[in-house]
Amino acid sequence: MQPHIQNHEIPPEKFGPLVEVAGANAVFEIVHQYVNDYGYCLLRGILDRTAVLAARSEVFQRLADVDEIQSPAEDGVATGRSSRRDQYPDVNAFWKDVSNGTAVRQVTHGDQLRKIITSILLEPARAHDLIYLRPTPPGKSTRMHYDYPFFAGRSLRIHTAWIPFGDIRIEHGPLVIVEGSNGFSDLIDPIRSHDYSADRSNAAVQKAAYDAINQTDPMTLIQQRNTRLLSTEFRAGDLVVFNGFTMHGSLDNISPNGQVRLSCDVRFQPAADPADDERYFGTDPLGSNGGGYGDMRAAKPLME
Ligand SMILES: O=C(O)CCC(=O)C(=O)O
């Protein structure tokens, strides 16, 4: 099935694979170089697949318990129904609880991922406490953006770890990266020059991350810049690491059978940088808009 982005079919010549390394014997100096040069790197099979699949089951079981996912839960197929709002009038609390699941945190905040990111950054790394689980049903996608405006503040050296929670085919709408977008200085320079420690209001952050990029649809953007959209079929155990100046979003989930794409993105920064940004650290992080987990798309029932 040809990939789609924001309801446009991507022609074959405008679609390519991500730069990748095999995780088993990855040379982290090379991965570091790739992240610098390309803005990102895909590490195949580097995470404990069993642990990632356990996290997938944990999240989908919670969604099955509110009648949004069919049995068996780990297949991740949407029912089109929900009892979430009846069972959990406090949607923030529900989503926070799911996001703090033991199996989820084992992957996102366990030693394995921290050590990998430490090796890539070439210095000790620390994860933000706030994580973004993304159960994405057919018909939904993430618009293109740069991450830097959201997460720059007390640390400016933010990297994202994007983790497929399961095997994700192209038609399930995985992460997509714009090739060469870490060199789009006309878009990056204004983002970089904003003082996020002085003005980190959600309006300023959203505007910096999304506005200029989304003045045109992604297909027009890549035609104008003579570049390509990059993605791949992912397997549980894969990991993509990208910096704040890499334009990304997701392909459309065009699964014909209700398959929900599940992934998680976690931010890391050097451990030496201040970790007191209340938006991203603490037991009840506020997020960029102040509402914490309740502000996330995933806090709403899947089909809303
Ligand atoms: O998984 C997605 O849909 C997009 C992920 C994303 O925007 C991110 O990791 O910053």
Domains in the chain: boundaries: 4-299
Is residue 85 pLDDT above 90, yes or no?
A: yes
pLDDT digits 0-9 by tens, 237-282 = 999 999 999 999 999 999 999 999 999 999 999 999 999 999 999 9
Among 88, 89, 110, smallest CA distance to 101 is for: 110
175 lines ligand 1 (CB under 6 A): yes
Q: Ligand 1 centroid to 81 CA: how many Å? A: 25
* SS3 assignment for 197-236: CCCCCHHHHHHHHHHCHHHCCHHHHHHHCCCCEECCCECE
Q: Ligand 1 centroid to 251 CA: how many Å? A: 10
Per-residue pLDDT band for 75 (boundaries 50, 70, 90) equals: very high
Looking at this protein, which amino acid is placed at residue 286?
L
Per-residue pLDDT band for 186 (boundaries 50, 70, 90) equals: very high
Atom of ligand 1 nearest to the CA of 263: 1
68 lines ligand 1 (CB under 6 A): no
Q: Which residues of 49-68 are buried (b: 16+ CB within 10 A; e: fewer)?
A: eebbbbbbbbbbbbbbebbb
Q: Ligand 1 centroid to 76 CA: how many Å? A: 19
52-61 average pLDDT score:
98
Atom of ligand 1 nearest to the CA of 147: 10
160 lines ligand 1 (CB under 6 A): yes
Class of domain 4-299: mainly beta
**CA-to-CA distance for 271 and 36, rounded, in angstroms?**
19
Residue 196: predicted pLDDT: 76
Q: Ligand 1 centroid to 142 CA: how many Å? A: 7
252 lines ligand 1 (CB under 6 A): no
Is residue 197 pLDDT above 90, yes or no?
A: no
128 lines ligand 1 (CB under 6 A): no
